[in-house]
Amino acid sequence: MTITMTPIFAKAYPPEEVFFTADDCENRNEPTKVLLCTPEYFEVKEGNNVYMQNNIGRVNKEKAKEQWNHLHTLYLQLKSAEIIEDVFVVDGAEDFEDMVFCANQSFPWTTWGGEKIVVMSNMKHESRQNEVVYFEDFYKDHGYKIFNIQSRYHFEGMGDMVPHPAKRLLYGGYGLRTDKQVYDEISRMLDTPILLLELINENFYHLDTCFLPLNANEVIIAPGAFSDESLVIIKKMFEAVYEIPFHEATDGFACNAHIVYGHKSKSAAIIQKNNPVTLNILQQNSFKVLETDTSEFIKSGGSVFCMKMMVY
Ligand code: ARG
């Protein structure tokens, strides 16, 4: 007798409807290329998150450029080491001071057949809404099929929707930037189940500020970021859940590290410097860990993960 696995239906799952584990979901290849956006117009102009509120007009632009250049250099080194396949750069546009955070304007994915697809974001703040078209142009040039959200609900791309490593399974953060109601439409576009995770602390306004999967079994989270029901789901999906100190998650943006699930099965991690507890967890996992300083970008509420997009 052959046993066939029923595919997990593509829809948005509230905690009470999650009767499967990540193992029940299909396997998936990780993207292998990095997209960055240059920082020449980066600054903090308004208080769209708690970090920005204390830092309006306080970005040292020269220092920001140096920090961005260092991050760019690290990615070029990962390319030389064949951990990633390529590094693309989109030019930042005048008047779009947050465009450098290129995790937010889109969510690239592939179909079951391997076709490249992308959902373009519907950003909450007016100051960011028109960033999206610049990235749409990038995806058009790179052969993606583009999806636009048809409803009025907000969605902030990879900032709020994070994949389970190597699985066709997504986590959709909501409550502060992205609307919960948007995820049914997105799950249909991507033909992939999305587990809803409620964010309840304004220090962790995007899922990528408090949720960092290391591999298919282990995840790092920030304390106090999730509702109790959402925490139950995270513990159901990952064998090990590491909670890091609050100050590493907020001052150090440690959950916003970038785990590069490498090309040719090599992996690496890039993380904001001075996060010893998180660094130790990554090193125990035998990642090649690269530290960098993104302090000027943390003034705007973003670090490494927000400053890049993995693309196919
Ligand atoms: N200043 C930006 C904002 O508030 C920061 C975005 C950070 N990006 C992220 N993926 N968490 O929108």
State the pLDDT at residue 7.
Answer: 75
Query: What separation in Å is there between the alpha carbon of 6 and the centre of ligand 1?
Result: 37
What is the share, in percent, of the chain residues with pLDDT greater than 70?
97
Residue 194 phi/psi, 5-degree rounding, is: -125, 125
User: Tokens in use for 6?
Assistant: 């029923």
What's the domain count of the chain?
1
Domain membership of residue 6 (yes or no) is no
Dist CA 165 CA 31 (whole Å): 11
Mean pLDDT of all residues in 44-65: 98
Structural contact between residues 275 and 254, judged by C-beta atoms closer than 8 angstroms: yes
Domain membership of residue 7 (yes or no) is no
pLDDT in tens, 107-151: 999 999 999 999 999 999 999 999 999 999 999 999 999 999 999
Residues with CB under 6 A from ligand 1: 48-49, 52, 98, 101, 103-104, 128, 159, 206, 208-209, 300-302, 306
Domain membership of residue 248 (yes or no) is yes
Query: What separation in Å is there between the alpha carbon of 1 and the centre of ligand 1?
Result: 51
Mean pLDDT of all residues in 40-52: 98
Residue nearest to atom 6 of ligand 1 (CA): 302
Domain membership of residue 2 (yes or no) is no
Domain membership of residue 1 (yes or no) is no
Residue 279 phi/psi, 5-degree rounding, is: -55, -45
| Confidence (pTM) | 0.96
Helix (H, G, I), strand (E, B) or coil at 275: coil
Q: Where are the alpha helices (DSSP H) in the chain?
A: 50-53, 61-80, 126-129, 132-141, 183-190, 228-237, 246-250, 276-284, 295-298
Residue nearest to atom 1 of ligand 1 (CA): 300
Domain membership of residue 106 (yes or no) is yes
State the pLDDT at residue 253.
Answer: 98
State the pLDDT at residue 266.
Answer: 74
Domain membership of residue 5 (yes or no) is no
pLDDT in tens, 2-15: 555 567 999 999 99
Q: Which domain holds residue 116?
A: 12-311
Domain membership of residue 256 (yes or no) is yes
The model's confidence at residue 287, banded by pLDDT at 50, 70 and 90, is confident
Burial of 126 (0-12, 13-18, 19+ CB in 10 A): exposed
CATH for 203: 3.75.10.10
pLDDT in tens, 161-218: 999 999 999 999 999 999 999 999 999 999 999 999 999 999 999 999 999 999 999 9
Dist CA 192 CA 107 (whole Å): 13
Query: What separation in Å is there between the alpha carbon of 9 and the centre of ligand 1?
Result: 31
Residue 230's closest CA among 247, 256, 210? 210
Query: What separation in Å is there between the alpha carbon of 127 and the centre of ligand 1?
Result: 12
Phi-psi region of 82 (alpha: psi -120 to 50; beta: other; left: phi over 0): left
